[in-house]
């Protein structure tokens, strides 16, 4: 694909500084870009790369930058660069069809422009609204509702009675609505607790590959609008995740925990059951959360607490051997002084 700098600027509503006739044929990050590539500067602290990059065109914030490179200045370079990626990598349109090898149960309602791939199993009373894509080998259980414009990846399992909102993306191998980990001890034996709730996923949610979301035991498990879940996340029964929260890969969230809106949770975080995490909370990767967290906190650590306090403590921990050595020397000096006064 070939596109001029001016054409790019028109699409992303930017302002060109330099040669508007330069032709761009591809894209790359600013460190690795070559001639013919368009790239972007996400933060002014990386300005040094403007002078070393081989990119032909750089999308930058609206700031004064001294360079001979051709720039397109915009309000939000990351967002505008994502629009350019869509130009170079447009979505592939699938045929609107239901595969002959798909199994469709009784009383199902299939909307307009729906794609259902090979070997899918759609059980009874399922509603799939307009413009959805159900990719091959997917299982959808009884009474599931999938709203408009959803993409369900291959080998996905959506158990009975789950509800999926509009504009959701569920990637390959995800499992929605499997039983929560609920058992009671009766006479020394573990007996399974019925999982009578369901999973409700609101609009504009993205769920990564091989992520699992358990159905509720009594209450529903609920994922609110705009939530983005990475791959390989485990969400237990009755969990509530507030709007626009982002969770990175390999996190585990135990049952009945409530997470607020606009939270950011790093990879491999473990969150205990029956706790409440407030709004706008940030949790650093590999942290363990075992108690309630108030709004607007940033926390870190195996038993996580305020991030600055953790980092100070970690510096002391790294120096612990030296601290103990100095302590032992001081103790020996004091003991020796006491012996000399006797």
| Domain boundaries defined on the chain | 3-88, 103-308, 310-341
Task: Give the residue carrying structure tokens 């999982």.
Answer: 195
Residue 57 predicted with pLDDT over 90: yes
Per-residue confidence band for 89, with pLDDT thresholds at 50, 70 and 90: confident
What is 103-308's CATH number? Answer: 2.160.10.10
Residue 321 in tokens = 């051997």
pLDDT computed for residue 223 by the predictor: 98
**Cα separation of 258 and 276, whole Å?**
5
pTM higher than 0.85, yes or no?
no
Share of the chain above pLDDT 70, in %: 99
CATH assignment, 3-88: 3.40.1390.10
Residue 46 DSSP one-character state: G
Residues 51, 202, 237, 316: which is the catalytic one? 237
Tell me whether residue 306 is exposed, middle or buried, using C-beta atoms within 10 angstroms of its C-beta: 0 to 12, 13 to 18, 19 or more. Answer: middle
Kindly indicate the confidence band of residue 54, based on its pLDDT and cuts at 50, 70 and 90: very high
Is 274 tagged catalytic?
A: no
CA distance 126 to 109: 6
The mean predicted confidence, pLDDT, of the chain is 92
From the CB of residue 1, how many other CB atoms can be counted at a distance below 10 Å? 9
200-248 confidence digits (pLDDT tens): 999 999 999 999 999 999 899 999 999 999 999 999 999 999 999 999 9
Hey, which residues does 106 pair with through a beta bridge? none
* Cα 103 to Cα 126: distance, rounded to the nearest angstrom: 12
């Amino acid at each position: 694909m070939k596109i001029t700098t001016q054409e790019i600027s028109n699409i992303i509503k930017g302002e060109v500084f330099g040669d508007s006739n330069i032709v761009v044929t591809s894209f790359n990050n600013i460190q690795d870009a070559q001639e013919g590539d368009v790239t972007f500067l996400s933060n002014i602290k990386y300005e040094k790369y403007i002078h070393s990059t081989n990119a032909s065109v750089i999308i930058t914030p609206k700031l004064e930058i001294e360079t001979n490179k051709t720039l397109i200045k915009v309000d939000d370079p990351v967002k505008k660069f994502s629009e350019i990626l869509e130009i170079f990598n447009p979505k592939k349109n699938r045929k609107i069809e239901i595969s002959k090898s798909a199994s469709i149960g009784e009383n199902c309602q299939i909307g307009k422009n729906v794609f259902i791939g090979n070997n899918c199993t759609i059980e009874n009373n399922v509603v799939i609204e307009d413009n959805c894509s159900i990719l091959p080998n997917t299982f959808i259980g009884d009474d599931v509702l999938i709203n408009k414009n959803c993409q369900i990846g291959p080998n996905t399992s959506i158990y009975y009675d789950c509800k999926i909102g509009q504009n959701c993306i569920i990637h390959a191998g995800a499992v929605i609505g499997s039983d929560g980990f609920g058992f009671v001890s009766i006479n020394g034996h573990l007996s399974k607790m019925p999982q009578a709730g369901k999973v409700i996923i609101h609009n504009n949610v993205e769920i990564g590959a091989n992520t699992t979301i358990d159905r509720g035991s009594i209450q529903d498990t609920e994922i609110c609008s705009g939530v983005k879940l990475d791959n390989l996340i485990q969400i237990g029964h009755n969990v509530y995740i507030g709007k626009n929260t982002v969770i990175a890969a390999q996190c585990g969230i135990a049952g009945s925990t409530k997470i607020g809106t606009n939270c950011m949770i790093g990879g491999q975080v473990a969150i205990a059951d029956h706790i409440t995490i407030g709004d706008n909370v940030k949790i650093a990767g590999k942290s363990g959360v075992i108690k309630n967290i108030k709004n607007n906190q940033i926390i870190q650590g195996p038993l996580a607490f305020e991030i600055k306090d953790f980092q100070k403590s970690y510096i002391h921990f790294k120096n612990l051997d030296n601290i103990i050595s100095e302590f032992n020397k001081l103790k020996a000096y004091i003991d020796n002084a006491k012996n000399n006064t006797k």
